[in-house]
Chain A
Amino acid sequence: MSDPSDRPIEHLLRELAPQVLSPVVRRFRDFAAAEDAVQEALIAATAQWPREGVPANPRAWLIQVASRRMADHIRSEVARRHREQVAAEETERLALPVDAFTETGEDDALVLLFMCCHPALTPASAIALTLRAVGGLTTAEIANAFLVPEATMAQRITRAKQSIKESGIPFQLPTAEDRAQRLRAVLHVLYLIFNEGYASSAGPHLRRADLSDEAIRLTRIVYHRQSDNEVAGLLALMLLTDARRAARTGPDGELIPLAQQNRTLWDRQQIAEGIALLSAVLPKGSVGPYQLQAAIAAVHDEAARAEDTDWSQILALYDLLKRMSDNPMILLNHAIAAAMVHGPRKGLELLGALDSDPRLAERHRLEAVRAHLLEMAGEHEAAITHYRSAASRAPSIPERNYLMLQAARLSESTDHKAPD
């Protein structure tokens, strides 16, 4: 991953993307075509600006190029439809000078986010469209990040735009009554983008870590335009989690669990920012799940050594979180916290309830936690069995390797002790 400051043009383009797209959509009233036109304008800028220099007014330049593309598009559409009336109207629209639609709306990026993260879209479509329309990433970059062919990603984006068209989602901020629910949908998509980048920053696909940066950037945009405690909570959660990125994997991409991470590698500046955000919103009340998760991340980040972790506080936070959502992943983490406070037996007892929970799709995590707690309880044989069972169900290579190594380590140390 390269430092964004090494890529000033790319950085600028990503920032300008929503500010260019919004006025073009407003003018031409065709989101799907406008989004394509802006993508082409961004690609043209990527090719031209490094050679010819950044224009004095880059935003106006992009709007101009995108509008020209739109004009071409409309002319061919009109020719196709042979509709004289439409032609007259559209020609009129094309004749308007660029500065007639360069007024900038404060909420441009926000309107686009609400649209791209509409609950009518599948998560995969919403993620792809958000990254392109609001994030200004190219289809190729998004395809790379998700390890699918560019044509597949292009098709996903086209289909997402079709869904938007079909469901008649208007290009405006949601009404006051819908706002809270729609904001949750936006935050969820941003959370998924972050996770995709964070969880994949190990292994052979280092470039995917870019997705975490992008999620943080987009969440900041929402944070600056929307006063909502959960937005601050999500931004804090991302910063406090991402702060550990450099420490969570070894030189060969192997997974290093929290307890064994070299904490001097944690990004102190990001931790400080996350904690400041959180401290500003927590006293306001109406604490939501993102704030609670951020608070848990903060407790971990504040411990100088793993053994200094304030597990009672973490357990209390998970107790609150559990009351808000019965998500099995929360129950799993709650069991770990309970084990750290009350001993592994207590944790194992809580895990029992999850065995028959059909919603826990990631069975390997349950097995991994059980193995870990059994090891804490000194039941090494059973721990080895569960580490192996977890490894056989792991959905990724780093996780499988990690779990197999745990089983091997324990198995060798147990064999070693056997003769005594």
Chain B
Amino acid sequence: MKFILMMTAKKADWDEYTKWSKGDLERNVAFMRAFSKELKDSGVFVATEGLAWPGEAKMVHAGKNGEPITDGVFPESKEFLAGYWIIDVESPEQAYKIAARVSAAPGPGGKSGSLPVEVRPVLGSHADLGL
């Protein structure tokens, strides 16, 4: 079964991130690289992407004539998607375990983090209600 692990962070966390020390950043990057390799080696990896800074994002909605109206102002409190992994595992518990591992990625001072990671099933194409 496939799950998406979505790592999110508030604007304050993103701002904080820019101030990390070189050592902290290196440790974090090394961890993420090892984490992705681990997913690949264990045969559960489907996809992953990291996203650009929330400052690069635009909110778009359709205007009266369908023209795009963009908006770049974000509320402080909003959680922004930082990146995601899609994995194919045998059980939800296995997905939670993997999510907890990446949630604990090293943060400032090399201390284990605890960023929230939303784990949600990816809809499949199965069609079998048994009816």
Chain A residues within CB distance 8 Å of chain B:
122-125, 146-149, 151-153, 155-156, 158-159, 195, 198-205, 208, 248-249, 253, 255, 257-259, 329, 332-333, 336, 365, 368-369, 372, 394-400, 402-403
Q: Which 9 A-B pairs have the closest CB atoms?
A: A156-B43, A203-B125, A398-B127, A199-B128, A202-B127, A155-B43, A257-B131, A396-B126, A396-B124
With CB as the reference atom, state the residue of chain B lying closest to A332.
Answer: B130
Chain B min CB distance to A261 (Å): 11
Bound together, the chains give a CA A208 to CA B125 distance in angstroms of 10
Chain B min CB distance to A129 (Å): 11
> Contact between A159 and B125 (Cβ–Cβ < 8 Å)?
no
B46 proximal to A (CB < 8 A): yes
> Contact between B126 and A200 (Cβ–Cβ < 8 Å)?
yes
Question: Provided the pairs A123-B90, A329-B130 are in contact, do residues A153 and B125 lie with their beta carbons within 8 angstroms?
Answer: no
B40 proximal to A (CB < 8 A): yes
B129 proximal to A (CB < 8 A): yes
Bound together, the chains give a CA A395 to CA B128 distance in angstroms of 10
Residues of A within 8 A of B128 (CB): 195, 198-199, 399
With CB as the reference atom, state the residue of chain B lying closest to A195.
Answer: B128
Show 20 residue pairs from A and B whose CB-CB distance is below 8 angstroms, ordered by the A residue.
A122-B90, A124-B43, A125-B43, A147-B46, A153-B43, A155-B42, A155-B45, A156-B43, A199-B126, A199-B127, A200-B126, A200-B127, A201-B127, A202-B127, A203-B125, A204-B125, A336-B131, A398-B126, A398-B127, A399-B126
- Number of residues on chain B facing chain A (CB within 8 A): 22
Bound together, the chains give a CA A258 to CA B125 distance in angstroms of 18
Bound together, the chains give a CA A403 to CA B42 distance in angstroms of 36
B44 proximal to A (CB < 8 A): yes
Residues of B within 8 A of A208 (CB): 125
Contact flags (1/0) for B63-89 with A, using CB distance below 8 Å?
000000000000000000000000010
Bound together, the chains give a CA A140 to CA B58 distance in angstroms of 38
> Contact between A397 and B129 (Cβ–Cβ < 8 Å)?
no
Chain B min CB distance to A375 (Å): 12
Bound together, the chains give a CA A253 to CA B127 distance in angstroms of 9
Bound together, the chains give a CA A122 to CA B90 distance in angstroms of 8
Residues of A within 8 A of B42 (CB): 155, 159
Residues of A within 8 A of B56 (CB): none
Contact flags (1/0) for B112-131 with A, using CB distance below 8 Å?
00000000010111111111
Bound together, the chains give a CA A397 to CA B82 distance in angstroms of 26
> Contact between A151 and B40 (Cβ–Cβ < 8 Å)?
yes
> Contact between A395 and B127 (Cβ–Cβ < 8 Å)?
no
Residues of A within 8 A of B41 (CB): 155
Partner of A148 from B46, B90, B124, B126 at Cβ < 8 Å: B46
Q: A198-B128, A257-B131, A399-B127 are in contact. List 16 more A-B contacts (CB 8 A).
A: A122-B90, A146-B88, A153-B43, A155-B43, A158-B43, A159-B43, A200-B124, A200-B125, A203-B125, A253-B127, A255-B129, A259-B131, A368-B129, A396-B124, A398-B126, A400-B123
Partner of B129 from A148, A203, A249, A399 at Cβ < 8 Å: A399
Residues of B within 8 A of A402 (CB): 127, 129
Residues of B within 8 A of A122 (CB): 90
Contact flags (1/0) for B30-57 with A, using CB distance below 8 Å?
0000000000111111110000000000
> Contact between A258 and B131 (Cβ–Cβ < 8 Å)?
yes
With CB as the reference atom, state the residue of chain A lying closest to B128.
Answer: A199
Residues of A within 8 A of B88 (CB): 124, 146, 148, 152
Residues of B within 8 A of A198 (CB): 128
Bound together, the chains give a CA A419 to CA B63 distance in angstroms of 39
Residues of B within 8 A of A258 (CB): 131
Contact flags (1/0) for B1-32 with A, using CB distance below 8 Å?
11000000000000000000000000000000
